[in-house]
Structures are given as C-alpha cells and as structure tokens.
Amino acid sequence: MSGLSQSLKQYLVVTGTYWAFTITDGALRMLVVLYFYQLGYSALEIAMLFLLYEFFGVVTNLFGGWLGARLGLNRTMHIGVLLQVVALVMLAVDASWLSVPYVMAAQALSGIAKDLNKMSAKSAIKFLLPAQAQQGALYKWVAILTGSKNALKGFGFFLGAALLSWIGFQASLLSMGAVLVVVFILSVLLLQDEMGKTQYKAKFKHLFSKSRAINILSAARLFLFGARDVWFVVALPVYFQVSLGWSHTQVGTFMALWIIGYGFVQGIAPKLTGLKQGKVPDGTTALAWVLPLFLIPLLIAVPLFFGLNAEWVVVGGLLLFGVFFAVNSSVHSFLILAYSKEEGVSLDVGFYYMANAMGRLIGTVLSGLVYQYAGLEACLLISSAFLLATALISIGLPKHQLKAH
C-alpha cells in the first residue's frame, strides 16, 4: 500500500467498505426470502416485505446527496453501514416478533443504509479522481465498482442461503452484523475526513438537479430499471416455481448466477463500448445500446404466447437481456459522473439514483400486480414499453463524443 497514491488508497477503502456492505445486502435479501418462505409466506407477500426497502431508496437518494454535500461522503457511508447493523440486529429476534410491519420497518432501515452506501461510494469516485483525469479512466473505475458490486451481491445470495442452512436465521444475521462492525471501524480509521463535502452549505432547493442532461438521464434511468424489475423481481421467480416446476433452491441459484454474470458484463462494458479505440459513452451510445434491449422482452413474450418451449425461451431470453441491460446500466453510471460537477457531485448522483430507486419501486409493485392478474407475458410487454420510453428519452441526451484521453 505504501507505493500507492493517496487517491488510490482512498478508492480501495471506499470499494472495500462497499463490497462488504453489498455481500451482506445480497445475503440479507436471500435470507428473508428463504426464511419467510419456510414460514409459509407466498411469493407476493414476501415481495411486499421489500416495499419499504424500495420506497426508502427513493427518499434516501434524494436526501442522501444533500447529506453527502453537507456532512461529507465518508460520514454518509459510515451512517449507512451502522444502519445496516441495526437492521440486521432488529431481524435477529425470536420468530414470534417478526410481524409483517416489523420486518418492513427493518427492511426500510436496510434500504436507507444501502442507498446511502451506494451514493457515497459512486460519488467518491468523481471526487477521488483528479480534475484533469481522463474520461476513460473514470469510465473504467465506475465499471469496476458497479460490476464488482453486482457480482458480489450475487455471491451474497449464495452466502445467505448457505448460512441459513449452516447456522440458522438469527445466527446468520448476528454474524454479518459483527463483520460490518469491524468494517465500520476500519473505514473510520482509514477514510479521509470530509471527502466530498462542499465549500458552500447545500440547501434543500439544491436537491433537484438544474442540469438538463442529468434530468434527461435520470428519467431514462427510471424507465430502464422499471423495465427490469417489472418482470425480474416477483414475476420471474414465481413463474419459475409455478409454471416450470423449479425448486426454490434452483430459482435462488439461477438468480444468483444471473446477477454475478450481470456484474461481470458491467465490469467489461468499457471494452464492449469501444474504450480501447478511445471512445467513451455519450448520448448516442446510450441510445444505441437501449434499442436492441427494447426488442428482447418482445422476443420472449411472443414465443410464450404461442406455447413454445417456455424454459428455453425464458432462460435464454433472460441471459441475453442481462448482457444488454448490464452495458446500458454501466453506460448510465458513467454518464451521471461525466455530467456532474465535482463540487456537490453527491447532489447530482443522489438525484439520479432517486430516479433509479423510483423505477425499481414502480417495477416491483407492477411485477406482483401484473403477474397476478395477467401473467408473465404482460409483464414482458410492459418491460418493452418502458424500454421504448427509455430510448425516446435518451434521444435528448448530449451527443458530443467525450474523449477518453
């Protein structure tokens, strides 16, 4: 470590804290899904346990950027880790305490923690890179952080299932909480004070971005993530179990592998979008990658409607969807930092991820409702409509090609 620059050392601390948090976040989601499934909850009821988790993601991203600008990104990251510890301890009680409102409240804290942590980590990249840094370097750093996060979240799915089998629900939660306490202490000792804190006092009126490019990108992000979650969150796992006869373990394993693969593609997105040729994404790139993605849900829905082999169609379509969705997500994650100014970057990033969380919330609710009343094909059609909206909105993004060097 002694031979590394101060910025790189700080980046490694931020990334390490984010990785540790992400593993517990994925493990907690799988623990809740499997444990409450054992208690007799339906898939839709389990999905509703995450409703406040997603809702407070919207609120946290909106106000978290403001907190980051006023308190510093190191403090908002630390607050996120501590809130996750509290959420884990809240759930590590006797099963008789675990009513739906109680679990939803604990999940709400976890949702706040997750988005404080994510906003802080992604904003920190912009701050840690020197002002004259190449756009290509920014793109690679963002891709590595975003891709590794999703791969580790998939690993967290495996870990949650394994811990539940090995040591049980309560012991799993307490073990993860203890690990996060150690991570918190190390992060406090190693992370520099007031990282990302603005020289001016950010006011509530600064919560909403005044940048046209960021507003357009945020709207596109809302529909992009709504398009994924409208069939991925509830409809797909239930379809695998009810229509294809998969076991709960098979569903969890496949979803975990999908997320790990999705994270890997995010990590190599700079290569796929031409960074080696000196190209970094702009509005044209965002539009070009969302157009083929728009077609994929249709290509899954039509064969299902005509009764073709559902397992091959859905699994193959989901894998193809994952590749294109991962590149779209990685391009967006770069553009928000490229469009943001270093002074108050957390405000722009917070607003953008607020739109991301709103898309996830809308997608989660629609996923349960639409699947229950109209089936997976209807969810896929809505997904395609959302992606068409993403493409239309993306037409308004700045088209000038940013330079990698």
* pLDDT for res 232: 84
* 60 or 149, higher pLDDT: 60
Matching residue, tokens 């000196």:
278
Amino acid at site 350: G
* pLDDT for res 127: 66
* pLDDT for res 216: 94
Please determine, for residue 158, whether its predicted confidence score (pLDDT) is greater than 70. Answer: yes
Its sign, for the CA torsion 120, 125, 126, 127, is: positive
Q: Could you tell me what percent of the chain has a pLDDT over 90?
A: 35
Residue 116 φ then ψ, to 5°: -65, -45
* 386 or 142, higher pLDDT: 386
* pLDDT for res 132: 47
What does the CA dihedral 110, 104, 91, 371 come to, rounded to 10 degrees? -90
Query: For helices 6-38 and 73-91, what crossing angle results, to 10°?
Result: 20
* Residues 16-58: tens digit of each pLDDT: 898 999 999 989 988 887 788 778 877 667 777 888 888 888 8
Superfamily designation of domain 6-192+210-394: MFS general substrate transporter like domains (1.20.1250.20)
- What gap in Å lies between CA 195 and CA 10, rounded to an integer? 10
Please, what is the end-to-end C-alpha distance for the chain in angstroms?
A: 27
Q: What integer is the mean pLDDT of 217-228?
A: 96
* pLDDT for res 323: 95
Structure tokens at 30: 């799988």
Q: Are 400 and 282 in contact (CB under 8 A)?
A: yes
What are the residue ranges spanned by the domains of the chain?
6-192+210-394
* 340 or 23, higher pLDDT: 23
* pLDDT for res 200: 46
* pLDDT for res 197: 60
* Residues 165-204: tens digit of each pLDDT: 889 999 999 999 999 999 999 998 988 766 656 554 555 4
Query: DSSP class of residue 269?
Result: H
Distances (CA, A) of 232 to 145, 209, 215, 254: 23, 30, 26, 12
Report the predicted TM-score, pTM, of the whole model to 2 decimal places: 0.80
What is the chain's mean pLDDT, rounded? Answer: 84
CA proximity to 326, closest of 392, 278, 267: 267
Distances (CA, A) of 388 to 53, 202, 220, 309, 394: 27, 36, 10, 27, 10
- What gap in Å lies between CA 384 and CA 404, rounded to an integer? 32
Amino acid at site 95: A
Residue 210 φ then ψ, to 5°: -95, 0
- What gap in Å lies between CA 350 and CA 354, rounded to an integer? 6
* pLDDT for res 291: 96
* pLDDT for res 317: 95
* pLDDT for res 401: 52
Q: What integer is the mean pLDDT of 72-93?
A: 92
Phi-psi region of 287 (alpha: psi -120 to 50; beta: other; left: phi over 0): alpha
Q: For the ranges 64-68, 172-176, 207-211, which has the lowest average pLDDT?
A: 207-211
* pLDDT for res 405: 46
* pLDDT for res 332: 93
Q: What integer is the mean pLDDT of 365-387?
A: 92
* SS3 of residue 279 by DSSP: strand
Q: Are 105 and 112 in contact (CB under 8 A)?
A: no
Please determine, for residue 64, whether its predicted confidence score (pLDDT) is greater than 80. Answer: no
* pLDDT for res 289: 96
Q: Are 282 and 399 in contact (CB under 8 A)?
A: yes
- What gap in Å lies between CA 225 and CA 262, rounded to an integer? 14
Most confident stretch, 22-26, 152-156, 231-235, 321-325: 321-325
Please determine, for residue 82, whether its predicted confidence score (pLDDT) is greater than 80. Answer: yes
Q: What integer is the mean pLDDT of 298-309?
A: 90
Q: Are 78 and 184 in contact (CB under 8 A)?
A: yes
* pLDDT for res 229: 92
